[in-house]
Chains A and B, each alone.
Chain A
């Protein structure tokens, strides 16, 4: 199954991963990645904005591409929008496959594309106010791995 969601409220990854695994009887492996807001670097709040007509359709297309490319049984992508505090989950990707390598690589692939090639804009609130986060060179080199 393909399950892609944008959530405006905090979520608990475990609430999604259990049902996702159970939906794929006979699977050989599930790989899950959870990204959280880093703490301890002066960031008080992280805000992710998106554009409804583009963001979710592009994530659904990414999910379909990952399923086809890595021969997955299913993929789960959950992404937060709005304001988050340090320690809160931002993103969850879980891939189910017959064999472990496909599941692991699919999660890596999906994360690189979510980070470098998805319709999200990020800003951080620090002591001195809000700062927009610019794209990093690393995001482009991470994406280039899959071309």
Chain B
């Protein structure tokens, strides 16, 4: 089973794609650490918000990921 990652805004450029499937890992820290270094650094910024299954994660340090979760990385919004 896997996690579905979604990269919004300029993070899609950093990832080279808008979506990606990766093997399931238990924590957001492990997920970010498992990606390529440049992308990992971009996603680790405190300005990047994270949503799991459409809900913003308030404390990423204690959040537990499960098989099939959609994890979206949301950089600062640039206005409508």
Contacts and interface: CB of A to CB of B under 8 A. Distances in A.
A23 interface: no
A115 B74 contact: no
A57 B56 CA distance: 12
Interface in B26-80: 51, 53-54, 56, 70, 72, 74-80
B6 interface: yes
Nearest to A142: B79
Contacts of B6: 51
A78 B9 CA distance: 21
B8 A49 contact: yes
A11 interface: no
Q: Please classify the interface of chain A as helix (H, G, I), strand (E, B), loop, or mixed, using the class held by over half of its residues.
A: mixed
A115 B9 contact: no
Interface string A25-55: 0000000000100000000000011010110
B78 A133 contact: yes
B14 to A, nearest CB: 11
A136 B74 CA distance: 17
Interface residues of B, number: 19
Contacts of B79: 114-116, 118, 120, 122, 133, 135-136, 139
Contacts of B54: 53-54, 57
A57 B75 CA distance: 18
B10 interface: yes
Contacts of A57: 54
A121 B78 contact: yes
Interface of A: 35, 48-49, 51, 53-54, 57, 79, 90-91, 114-123, 132-136, 139
Given A49-B12, A115-B80, A117-B77, 7 more contacts: A51-B74, A79-B80, A114-B80, A118-B79, A118-B80, A119-B8, A120-B78
